[in-house]
Structure 1
Amino acid sequence: MCNGKHSADDIESFHDRLESGEDAIDRSTWAGGISESRAHAPHVRIGREKCFNLLWLLPIGFVLFIVSVTVAKGLNNSPFAKEFMQRHTGDVDTPAPVGLPAWLAWQHFFNLFLMMFMIRAGIADNPRLYWTRNSTPGREWFRVSNPVPEDPMWTAKEDSVGLPRQLGLPGIRHSIGLARWWHLGVDTLWLLTGVISTSCCSPRGNGGESSRRPGRCTFRCCSGS
């Protein structure tokens, strides 16, 4: 069969060996029965040799929050802050439109909703992130797995890790094909929301004297708001 031609019997025999795909993923047989390897706490590289565990940001952030609240309470009771708030009340004299049209508010919601799926699918099966395309071991700026071992036969399949279902999509180890399907499919819907929003709104001048001032522009939407 080196000439690339196959007989009808060969094609029929090949068709007989085909099986329908499953609607659900069996983790025990996925990717050839690859063993489970979960992601670790995220680390960010600091310098050439050290990495910082981002989980330390939780206690650090809590301490900074307590300090910030304490400082804000102290400043709020100071004479300078009271005088400043009396002088600058934040009231606006000129009337301005309040809120957004309902369709635009929903568009913003779907924009953020779809972006969450895109981010979840984008980080799936990527245990390391690099600034360059070389992917040199030991040069990643972010990782959720152990350092690359010295084994010269270490492959991308062995380096893959599984993510929690609440974070990765689908989150299964060595599932970059499914993740790209989700990422690109949702990306199409996300672009569609942008096209709808852009086509339904067009910039125009305020009219009259204000339209001749540079930088004064409003948006006219399909809803007539």
Structure 2
Amino acid sequence: MTKQQKTRTALVRLAWAVPATVVALLVVVLLARWLRDLPAVSAFVADYPGTVEPPESAPVGLPAWLGWQHFLNAFFLVLIIRTGWLQRTTVRPRGHWTRNNRGLLRTTNPPKKISLNLWLHLALDALWVLNGLVFMVLILATGHWARIVPTSWDVLPHALSVLLQYASLDWPMENGWVAYNALQVLAYFVTVFVAAPLAIVTGLRLSPAWPRNEAVNRAYPLSTARLLHLAVMAYYVAFIVVHVTLVLATGALRNLNHMYAARDEVSWVGFWVFAASVVVMVVGWVLARPVFVQPVAALTGKVTR
């Protein structure tokens, strides 16, 4: 299949996918609104409005360091998803990299030629993990872990109630400056403490630096790691789409101030910081091309076309 044929096929699929998605969302909204009119469901929502009281030790408000952590995490994740998908779908890479087997890069495995897409993917992975370690230290040191770790089983019915309220387009009453709603708590907990470690563990298995130990590799097959790694990528894509949509739909100015300006008010400060961060992401997306990546990659190994 030629490139033009592939493009035409993709456009045809998109032409069907967009209206199908709109119809599916409309059905979900109508079903959710019908359910909320039922007396038993209405009583359930009243009993579990959506927010579980956080521990008394949980801090109120969002500090400035969380804003730049949020930006860095989003920046690295977007580029990691892009380079990972290119690595998976590109048949003939425009460049390759072979590491210098010395210093910090020295391993028991001999140097292996990899694509520039994979080199950039691994480099971004390292920066993302480093940023994640800083984040973990800060939330543990400041007590902010208590805002995203469930401390009561009541979080489950509250989360179900929030999901129903979101689906019916009747947003739950909440104040993210004081405490996240139950569905947010579960989503952030899974993202930080489940998806991130799973991405690291599976990514290490896919790395060319993984040790060639037959017993370990039989117990942890490459195919399993690849499948889980792809599933984690799909989770992050879904999380980003839903997260951004709800941030903008449920009070964009106030939410963006929480996330980027460390203030609980309705103003344009957080929006402009967010807009600047999007510009930086776009610039990073443009620079993540072989013509720009080659000089940087050449500092740590041999680059060939």
* More strand by percentage: 1
Q: Looking at CA atoms only, which structure, 1 or 2, has the larger radius of gyration?
A: 1
Q: With structure 1 as the length reference, what TM-score do the two structures score?
A: 0.40
